[in-house]
Structure 1
Amino acid sequence: MNSEHITRPMTDAEAKAEAQRIIEENFRPEVPVVRHIPTSFRDDSPLPAYGDTPPVPQNDKRIVPAWAAGIAVASIGVGAGITGIGCGAWLVLKGLASVTLNGVLMVTLPFAGVAMVATAIGGAINKARSAVTTHVYEAPVTQNTQINNISNQRGMFSRTRNDVR
């Protein structure tokens, strides 16, 4: 055998040092990765001696999700629709507030005429139907009425059923 492959036992000091190295290597606390993102822009370019400062381009990298854009567009549409309905209602109610009695009568007169004609036609149809529906019975009629009361009482609940025959 080769003497190079033979290992000798560690001393207590060497074992303690090796154990310390393994523990520090494998169980050291993780340092979180902190990304520093600038939240403001500072322009260090020299200012002109007189006049306006030239504009500095500032990149806008905001990303709006599709659902947020959809909700924004829908809310604008709903708001515009409700505003239109409100304006229409305001115009109608403002017009109705300045109506005279003669104007109301003239506007409702055609509706009253149509309602009167519809009522007359419905009455005529009803009379025509009722004249045709007469029942003629040619068999003998026997009337036999018996009433049976069936009551069930249990505790505070009761039930009564009347059978008429």
Structure 2
Amino acid sequence: MPVLPEPPAAPAAGQAHLNDQARQLLAAVEDAMRTPTSYRDDSPVPLVGTAPPVAQPGIPPMSARTTEITRAVMYASFATVPPGLVAVAVMVASEHANPTVIGMICAAPAAIAVPILALARLIRRAGQAAPADVHHHYSGPVHQEYSETHTTTKGVWARTNNQP
């Protein structure tokens, strides 16, 4: 074990100046600790006001369509795990496991799903872009009334409520 030298008995040049700075720093820290650093306003908050919304922690809100798509992607990805694991287990057990083949098996569901999803989106957009052709041919006095019907279905057991 090395022996450390004893500290000098007399202060070295400039050491008194450092002690004064240390005392000033400690005094400033103690002064800062005495002053309050936070304040809680317990006054009641108005129910309606002009304050902008505040971002809440957690998952940001999504539209219903985005939520449905996210759920479908999660369920589809969970459905591809068991067949892939079985295929990998069979190849490992037969001692013919090839990393390239395993990669192709794991990528096959995505390689099949991507073109199908692209075609479905293309068909959906084509259907939305096409205007509805409505041709009416009347002979005589006609009273025509058009109202759009909104359908809502709620609950575990479906109850459809059609209202104009």
- What TM-score range do you get, normalising by the shorter chain? under 0.3
TM-score (norm 1): 0.22
TM-score (norm 2): 0.22
Larger radius of gyration: 1
